């Protein structure tokens, strides 16, 4: 064997494995290059990862970016108040218009009802009353349209806030909780203003007015809706005083259950037809 | 039968969490301080009796006499809560209870050491030795002894 041939043989023996590996690497590199430079194949590989990330971000978005978004919006509103008003104006305008339209429709329906009754005994009563009292007839009709109504009455022990009896037209609220909360509100207001002799006597909420009549050991809270007139308030005060004297005083010494029963039936007797007699 | 129960004690001892656990069987790690008073209601039944508890959860203060006494008046029962992990909440327990007894002489008092889940049995025993009054160790988090505490008070109010 010549020297050159022997050297070639030796090189082949020594480097054969390296060549195989090099070819394998070259193939892998070519595949990778193909994957990276071919959009479809790259998408195929990366899309599941992106989908997972997007899904995870969707869930964590409020936590991750909530404060920054809130801050940005607040800043934008602060800095561009005119633009915000301009953007909101049409929406608010439409909402207000819709509300007013609906209220006018309701009023119109009620006026229609009244007009139908124009020659009824009720209408003549209003005319005569208007003539005697000097109140314009239209005012009397309007006050009739928004006449006050009693919705609920709670008789509540003053210090404990325990419900002694109640009257309700719709029984939609937890009366014991309301009685306790009213006591807490009363206590808070009276404490806050350190008024030993003055007591909270009314709370206004939306279309409701809660009239509170204070007695020594209890208070009566009357929830009314509609427009509260002086005549209604007077009549309510008189009826509550009469009720307190005739029903509550007698029920005072009875045991808890009997007391509650007597008060509740007394309330029904006094207030079931209260609005109708108005 | 309706009864007014008040929950009193230092701020952050877990009064609101105890009520949440008792009334709604819920617990939250979030701490939201009570402002003024929060009222909840629960009907309990025991030994053939049915009792409606109106629970007034009163905002915590370090001294009971600095809380508006008007919220406490007329109460039929008292739950005094302290925090087993904060000695400052039970250091002047005697004084606080004396004040409540003077204000509401006829109301039974249930004393609760709350956050039992955060201390070991050894620590609990050592606290029991340092406090001369008997109390119930509760955990608003796990619910341990919570219902029992309210029912025991209800029985005492009969």
B residues 67-86 near A, CB within 8 Å? 68, 70-71, 73-76
CA dist., res. B33 & res. B12, Å (int): 7
Three-state helix/strand/coil letters over chain A: CCHHHHHHHHHHHHHHHHHHHHHHHHHHHHHHHHHHHCHHHHHHHHHHHHHHHHHHHHHHHHHHHHHHHHHHHHHHHHHCHHHHHHHHHHHHHHHHHHHHHHHHHHHHHHHHHHHHCCCCHHHHHHHHHHHHHCCCHHHHHHHHHCCCEEEEEEEEECCCCCEEEEEECCCCCCHHHHHHHHHHHHHHHHHHCCCCCCCCCEEEECCEEEEEEECCCEEEEEEEECCCCHHHHHHHHHHHHHHHHHHHHHHCCCCHHHHHHHHHHHHHHHHCCHHHHC
What pLDDT score does B44 carry? 94
Question: By the CB < 8 Å criterion, does A193 face chain B?
Answer: no
A258 to chain B, any CB pair closer than 8 A? The answer is no
Between A and B, how many CB-CB pairs are < 8 A? 49
Nearest-CB residue to A181 (from B39, B52, B75):
B39
Choose between B40 and A10: higher pLDDT.
Answer: B40
Contact B41, B55 (CB under 8 A): yes
Q: Is B89 on the interface with A (CB under 8 A)?
A: no
Distances (CA, A) of A264 to A220, A267, B35, B50: 13, 5, 34, 21
CB atoms within 10 A of CB B71: 25
Percent of chain A with pLDDT over 70: 91
Model pLDDT, residue A115: 67
The stretch A107-114 carries a mean pLDDT of 73
**Residue A278 pLDDT exceeds 60:** no
Question: Which candidate, B46, B67, B66, B48, places its Cα nearest to that of B56?
Answer: B67
User: Which has the higher per-residue pLDDT, B120 or A107?
Assistant: B120
Would you state the pLDDT for residue B135? 93
Band of pLDDT at residue A4, cut at 50, 70 and 90 = confident
Distance CA B134, CA B90 (A): 12
Distance in angstroms (rounded) separating the CA atoms of residues B77 and B108: 5
Residues of A in contact with B56 (CB under 8 A): 161, 180, 184
Q: Residue B155: pLDDT above 60?
A: yes
User: How many angstroms separate the CA atoms of A152 and A165, rounded?
Assistant: 11
- Does the pLDDT at position A32 exceed 90? no
What's the pLDDT band for B18 if we cut at 50, 70, 90? Answer: very high
Q: What are phi and psi of B38, to 5 degrees?
A: -130, 135
**pLDDT band per the 50, 70, 90 thresholds, residue B77:** very high
State phi, psi for A210 to the nearest 5 degrees. Answer: -100, 110
Checking if the pLDDT of A144 tops 80, the result is no
Give the residue-averaged pLDDT of A160-182.
Answer: 86
Confidence of residue A145 (pLDDT cuts 50, 70, 90): low
| pLDDT at A276 (0 to 100) | 66
For residues A101-122, give the mean pLDDT. 73
* Domains defined for chain B, CATH in brackets: 2-157 (3.40.50.300)
Q: Which residues of B touch A191 (CB under 8 A)?
A: 68, 70
How far is residue A216 from each of residues A249, B32, B62, B67, measured CA to CA in Å? 12, 36, 32, 24
Contact B4, B78 (CB under 8 A): no
pLDDT of residue A66: 87
pLDDT digits (tens, 9 = 90+) for A219-238: 999 998 887 778 888 888 88
Residues B80/B100, Cβ–Cβ less than 8 Å: yes
pTM above 0.80, yes or no: no
Give the whole-angstrom CA distance, residue A168 versus residue A272: 9
Find chain B residues with C-beta within 8 A of A190's C-beta.
Answer: 70
Provide the pLDDT for residue A120: 72
pLDDT at position A111: 72
In contact, B95 and B24? CB cutoff 8 Å: no
Residue with the bigger pLDDT between B144 and A269: it is: B144
Residue B112 has pLDDT above 90, yes or no: yes
pLDDT at A1: 59
For chain B, percent of residues with pLDDT exceeding 90: 68
Residue B45: strand pairing partners: B50
Q: Are strands B37-46 and B49-58 parallel, antiparallel or unpaired?
A: antiparallel
Q: Which residues on chain B are in Cβ contact (under 8 Å) with A194?
A: none
Contact criterion met (CB below 8 Å) for A166 and A131 = no
What pLDDT is attached to residue B40?
92
Mutating which of A183, A190, A216, A256 best tests the B interface, going by the most B Cβ atoms within 10 A? A183
On average, the pLDDT of chain A sits at 81
Helix, strand, coil % over all residues of chain B, rounded to 5: 35, 25, 40
Which residues of A fall within a CB distance of 8 Å from B70?
A: 159, 187, 190-191
Residues of A in contact with B75 (CB under 8 A): 160
Q: Judge whether residue A123 has pLDDT over 90.
A: no
Asked whether the predicted pLDDT for residue A277 surpasses 70, the reply is no
CA distance A208 to chain B (A): 22
Q: Each residue of A63-98: pLDDT tens digit?
A: 888 888 888 888 888 888 777 777 777 788 778 877
């Amino acid at each position: 064997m010549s020297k050159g041939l022997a050297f070639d043989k030796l090189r082949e023996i020594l480097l054969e494995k390296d060549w195989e590996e090099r070819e394998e690497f070259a193939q892998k590199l070519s595949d990778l290059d193909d994957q990276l430079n071919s959009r479809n194949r790259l998408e195929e590989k990366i899309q599941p990862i992106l989908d997972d990330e997007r899904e995870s971000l969707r869930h964590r978005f409020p936590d991750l970016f909530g404060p920054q978004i809130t801050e940005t919006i607040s800043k934008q509103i602060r800095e561009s108040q005119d633009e915000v008003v301009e953007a909101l104006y049409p929406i608010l305008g439409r909402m207000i218009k819709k509300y007013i339209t609906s209220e006018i429709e309701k009023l119109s329906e009620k006026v229609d009802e009244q007009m139908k009754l124009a020659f009824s005994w009720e209408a003549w009563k209003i005319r005569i009353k208007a003539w005697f009292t000097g109140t314009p007839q239209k005012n009397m009709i309007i006050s009739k349209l928004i006449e006050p109504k009693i919705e609920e009455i709670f008789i509540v022990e003053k210090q404990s806030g325990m419900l002694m009896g109640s009257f309700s037209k719709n029984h939609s609220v937890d009366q014991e909780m309301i009685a306790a909360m009213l006591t807490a509100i009363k206590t808070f207001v009276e404490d806050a203003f350190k008024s030993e002799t003055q007591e909270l006597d009314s709370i206004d909420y939306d279309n409701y007015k809660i009239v509170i009549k204070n007695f020594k050991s209890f208070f009566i809270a009357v929830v009314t809706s509609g427009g509260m007139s002086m005549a209604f308030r007077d009549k309510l005060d008189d009826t509550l005083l009469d009720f307190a004297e005739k029903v509550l005083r007698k029920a005072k010494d009875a045991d808890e259950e009997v007391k509650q029963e007597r008060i509740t039936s007394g309330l029904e007797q006094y207030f079931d037809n209260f609005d109708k007699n108005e | 039968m309706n009864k007014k129960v008040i929950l009193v004690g230092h701020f952050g001892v877990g009064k609101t969490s105890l009520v949440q656990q008792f009334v709604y069987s819920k617990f939250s790690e979030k701490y939201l301080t009570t402002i003024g008073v929060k009222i909840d209601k629960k009907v309990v039944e025991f030994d053939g009796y049915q009792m409606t508890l109106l629970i007034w959860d009163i905002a915590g203060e370090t001294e009971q006499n600095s809380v508006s006494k008007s919220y406490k008046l007329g109460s039929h029962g008292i739950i005094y809560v302290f925090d087993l992990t904060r000695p400052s909440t039970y250091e002047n327990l005697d004084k606080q209870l004396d004040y409540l007894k003077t204000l509401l002489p006829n109301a039974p008092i249930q004393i609760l050491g709350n956050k039992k889940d955060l201390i070991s049995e050894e620590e609990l025993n050592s606290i029991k030795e340092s406090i001369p009054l008997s109390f119930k160790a509760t955990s608003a988090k796990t619910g341990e002894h919570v219902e029992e505490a309210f029912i025991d008070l209800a029985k005492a109010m009969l």
